[in-house]
A = this chain, B = another copy of it.
Amino acid sequence: MSQPPERAVPTSTDVARRAGVSRATVSYVLNNAAAVRISEPTRRKVREAADELGYVPHAGARSLRSGHTRMVLLPSAHTPVGPLYSTFFNELQWALRRLDYTVVQYGSLGLDGDGAARAWAELRPVAVVSLGEISLTPHGVDVLKRSGAKAVITLGPQRVAGAHALVMDQREIGCGAVSHLIERGRRRIGVVMPEEPGLGLFSQPRLAGARASAAASGAHVEPVPLAYTEQSAAALAARWRSLGLDAVYAYNDEYAMLLMRALQDEGIDVPGDTSVIGADDLLLGRLLRPRLSTVRVDLVTGQRLAELVDRVVRDPGGEPERHDLMGARAVPRESS
């Protein structure tokens, strides 16, 4: 099929030569240019030539000429965990494609905020939608905008100067969890803080929300570190009684399941001795006994976010908006 002898990549010049027309005509035909009328026979010749050569236009050359792209760049450091994010992500990509954008995820693992922004800017995306795993600085936002990005949108716990912010206030999750526990009469509440790196952007605001909620009713909140391993959970369970807590909000359902099992193995009754609540409403949480209470998060739909991206791209003039996008509500089951 493909010879080593470096077959040259076919260009529009090759197509033109093969079809016996000029490069201009090739461009007109292949882009269905409305402004000019090209005869049907010519169109066919051009298309055939392009097909036979396996011609594919060079996106870089095109963007160089036109001065813009239709690329929406989604930075991704850790691929987002959980079905919540992946559903959202897929929706967003699908909706953006329908709006005729090219959606590209840029793996930015191991890049700092400004370095990442520079790397993204090299691709001249028309929009950047950051899910907040990588911390975008105000300076990074500026670099992107100077490089031609019409829309820089952050979707995360905090807003960033200069960017349109879709604030997913993670505090609401911690708040919802702890409020529920307090309603259940709990007063000394542990909040699991995952030890895994990269989760701080989520766990910190969740803790803050938990604190706020507790402060309002004079309850006590105690951060509890936990790694996502059985050993770590067992160790925590072993010293659980000494902590004197009567409830725990365990970051999300996965950590909650892990901890709940460890507590049970230690002979601690859930929810009798200790209430447990997670977050994300994973199906698996319903399989445990007692069924895991959780906080359900209502994320913005990918569809709506795609529409916002498109609106900002078309009219970049507007002031950076701030939207609150997340609703969180406790779903009591049996573990609390």
Contacts and interface: CB of A to CB of B under 8 A. Distances in A.
Given A162-B2, A230-B286, A90 B109 contact: yes
Interface string A102-136: 11111101100000001101111000000000000
Interface in A54-106: 54, 56-64, 69, 76, 78-81, 86, 89-90, 93-94, 97, 102-106
B61 A2 contact: no
Contacts of A56: 118, 121-122, 143, 146-147
Contact of A1 (B7, B103, B148, B162): B162
Contacts of A272: none
A24 interface: no
Given A58-B124, A60-B63, A283-B228, A97 B79 contact: no
Interface residues of A, number: 67
B283 A230 contact: yes
Nearest to A138: B1
Given A60-B61, A118-B56, A287-B261, A81 B86 contact: yes
Interface string A1-27: 110100101100000000000000000
Given A122-B56, A145-B2, A284-B254, A109 B93 contact: yes
A309 interface: no
A300 to B, nearest CB: 18
Contacts of A106: 102-105
Contacts of A167: none
B105 A105 contact: yes
Contact of A145 (B1, B79, B103, B257): B1
A222 interface: no
Nearest to A3: B317
Contact of A258 (B4, B110, B147, B283): B283
A235 interface: no
A54 B122 CA distance: 12
19 contacts: A1-B162, A9-B147, A54-B146, A57-B122, A59-B60, A60-B123, A76-B105, A79-B79, A79-B90, A81-B86, A94-B107, A102-B119, A104-B106, A104-B107, A105-B106, A230-B283, A258-B284, A258-B287, A288-B288
